[in-house]
Copies of this chain bind each other. A is one copy, B any other.
Amino acid sequence: MRAALEEATVFVEKWSANVGLPVGNCPVRGVLDKISDKWSMLLVMTLASGPKRFNQLRREIPDISQKMLTQTLRDLQRDGMVSRQVFDTKPPSVEYRLTALGESVIVPFGYLIRWADENFADIDRSRAEFDQAA
Contact = CB atoms under 8 A, between A and B. Distances in A.
A16 B115 contact: no
A87 interface: no
Chain A, interface SS category = helix
A131 interface: yes
Interface string A44-68: 0110110000000000111100000
Interface in A1-45: 1, 4-5, 7-12, 14-16, 18-23, 25, 27-32, 34-38, 41-42, 45
Contacts of A81: 123
Given A15-B48, A48-B18, A5 B113 contact: no
B60 A12 contact: no
